Amino acid sequence: MVTTGTVRSPLKGVHMSIKLFDSELKVMDVLWKRGDITAKEVSDILKEDIGWNMNTTYTVIKKCIAKGAIRRDEPKFMCHAMIEKSEVQRAEAEELVDKLFDGSPELLFASLLGGKQLTEDQLQRLRRIVEEG
């Protein structure tokens, strides 16, 4: 799966679109949850969580750096997320709606519900989301 996100350019007010693959999202998720940590710490977490070896993790981190999704700082190869999770989620949702539901959020909701009845509480939460959106 490929996800599109927006990263801020060094040029003020300019956004660049980047695409992240599932493996890159795994690395980004660690940074979104933990904040700035070293590549070694990212590697240790992903080794424990999904069994990746250090070389795999470092390769994916370097791809994220090349795309502008991660910034590398010294000392100790400190990794900083340059794209926010909410931006990636928004871009992924828009792509899903465009690709599978002809650009119609209504069709997406209808598919998600699949004939299920929502509780009054769930309806209220959805109303708030729509009104705030």
CA 20 to chain centre: 8
Residue 3 corresponds to which tokens in the numbers above?
Answer: 């996800």
- Mean pLDDT of all residues in 118-132: 87
Maximum distance among all Cα pairs of the chain, rounded to whole angstroms: 54
Q: Which domains does the chain have, with CATH numbers?
A: 2-85 (1.10.10.10), 103-133 (no CATH)
| Mean pLDDT of the residues in the chain | 87
The model's pLDDT over 14-68, given as tens digits with 9 standing for 90+, comes to: 345 688 999 999 999 999 999 999 999 999 999 999 999 999 999 999 999 999 9
Predicted confidence at residue 55, as pLDDT, reads 98
Cα 30 versus chain centre, distance: 11
Q: Could you give the dihedral angle defined by the CA atoms of residues 3, 4, 5 and 9, in that order, rounded to the nearest 10 degrees?
A: 140
Token pair for residue 1?
């799966």
Distance CA 78, CA 48 (A): 20
Report the predicted TM-score, pTM, of the whole model to 2 decimal places.
0.75
Cα 79 from Cα 57, distance rounded (Å) = 12
d(CA 101, CA 133): 19
Q: Provide the 10 A C-beta neighbour count for residue 114.
A: 6
pLDDT band at 9 (very low <50, low <70, confident <90, very high): very low
